[in-house]
């Protein structure tokens, strides 16, 4: 006798009783976004999903269901042999599809018939997606954000990492977006996630934060690479208190040269990226920058890019998108000890701002 299939609603309990979260959607759907920690056991692969959908629209829903049932049965059988045979009697899976309907129900029914305590997410991924959007919106309203602003290369990302290591609440937007936030900021080895996946990663972080403590994040534009910040988060960032990080030009140039060491080995890519700045710079300056790149004189190139382009286009004094800094912290160098010492001061100052109620 099969067990009943439990219908689960969001939010899920922090102490999840499930051994696995199983996404039965097609791989292309899973790749775009999924519940963090879920595994993909599709009951229809990408080609089969398209085939069934085409039959549904062009022939009849009845024929589509017959073909779909045959394909789903075949795929579930394969999953039983390759994945589920090793599971014990106490195994508890949580299953979901797009809407919590036929695809998740098909696998859940088989697992429940075997005797496992099986649950299905009510409303499926669509319900999860609504929960993600609402959690980000609510977090933007309730959390105490502290914005780190400063010229390019000041060390804001290093400070965020140091703060995170010491247990502070950090929202590393560039890290989640897999992009450094400039035309030079893409990473071929770690391409940017899909927009929905990026928002799920934001959700994962925001849902864990405590409203009584500050959340540190870097001043960003509304887009990081090709990804958009959720508008509620972006609007909240623009009115949050700001701490400026100030670092000497030479220190910034040395830090960025080292940080982009792997990137600058691709001279053609560097030249093409410099070309993207043509609309902002005189033709002669572009030629000079390319000449420095061809010579491999990276420190000089980075110094000039900072002084002649980024510093001139970027405001940290409150005349841009963000509030005027409430204080400025000096970061004279980017070695671990100097960054750690600055991070300690930063955490202390932010805590005092929290205590004074200056966030609201």
Answer for the pair 213, 171: CB distance below 8 angstroms, yes or no: no
Report the alpha-carbon distance of residue 259 to residue 248 in Å, rounded.
16
97 belongs to the catalytic site: yes
Residues sharing a CB contact under 8 Å with residue 156, sequence separation 6 or more, in sequence order: 148, 149, 150, 218, 219, 245
List 97, 201, 256, 342, catalytic entry: 97
Altogether, the residues listed in the chain come to a count of 360
The CA distance from 305 to 281, in Å, is 11
Q: Which H, E and C letters describe the chain, residue by residue? A: CCCCCEEECCCCCCCCCCCEEEECCCHHHHHHCCCCCCEECCCCCHHHHHHHHHHHHHCCHHHHHHHHHHHHHHHHHHHHHHHHCCCCCCCCEEEECCCCCHHHHHHHHHHHHHCCCCEEECCHHHHHHHHHHHHHHHHHHHCEEEEEECCCCCCHHHHHHHHHHCCCEECCHHHHHCECCCCCCECCCCCCCCHHHHHHHHHHHHCCCCCCCEEEEECCCCEECCEECCHHHHHHHHHCCEEEEECCHHHHHHHHHHHCCCHHHCHHHHHHHHHCCHHHCCHHHHHHHHHHHHHCCHHHHHHHHHHHHHHHHCCCCCCCCCCCCCEEEECCCCCHHHHHHHHHHHHHHHHHHHHHCCCC
- Residues catalogued as catalytic: 97
């Amino acid at each position: 006798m099969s067990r009943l299939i439990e219908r689960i609603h969001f939010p899920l309990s922090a102490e999840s009783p499930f051994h696995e979260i199983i996404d039965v959607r097609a791989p292309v759907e899973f790749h775009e976004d999924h519940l963090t920690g879920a595994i993909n056991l599709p009951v229809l692969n990408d080609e089969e999903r398209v085939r069934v959908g085409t039959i549904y629209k062009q022939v009849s829903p009845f024929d589509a269901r017959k073909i779909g049932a045959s394909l789903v049965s075949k795929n579930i059988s394969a999953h039983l042999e390759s994945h589920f045979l090793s599971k014990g009697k106490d195994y508890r899976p949580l299953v979901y599809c797009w809407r919590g309907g036929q695809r998740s129900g098909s696998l859940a029914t088989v697992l429940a018939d075997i005797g496992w305590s099986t649950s299905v997410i009510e409303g499926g991924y669509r319900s999860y997606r609504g929960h993600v959007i609402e959690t980000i919106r609510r977090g933007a309203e309730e959390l105490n954000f502290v914005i780190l602003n400063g010229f390019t290369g000041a060390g804001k990302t290093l400070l965020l990492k140091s703060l995170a290591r010491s247990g502070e609440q950090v929202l590393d937007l560039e890290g989640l977006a897999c992009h450094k936030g400039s035309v030079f900021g893409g990473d071929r080895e770690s391409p940017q996630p899909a927009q929905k996946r990026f928002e799920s990663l934001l959700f994962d972080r925001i849902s864990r934060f405590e409203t009584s403590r500050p959340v540190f994040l870097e001043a960003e534009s509304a887009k990081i690479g090709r990804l958009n910040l959720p508008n509620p988060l972006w609007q909240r960032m623009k009115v949050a208190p700001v701490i400026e990080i100030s670092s000497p030009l030479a220190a910034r140039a040395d830090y960025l040269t080292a940080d982009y060491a792997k990137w600058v080995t691709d001279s053609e890519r560097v030249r093409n990226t410099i070309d993207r700045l043509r609309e902002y710079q005189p033709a002669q300056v572009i030629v000079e920058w390319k000449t420095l790149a061809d010579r491999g004189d990276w420190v000089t190139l980075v110094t000039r890019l900072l002084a002649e382009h980024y510093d001139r286009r970027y405001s940290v004094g409150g005349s841009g998108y963000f509030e005027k800094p409430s204080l400025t912290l000096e970061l004279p160098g980017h070695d671990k000890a100097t960054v750690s010492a600055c991070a300690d001061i930063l955490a202390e100052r932010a805590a005092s701002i929290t205590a004074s109620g200056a966030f609201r």
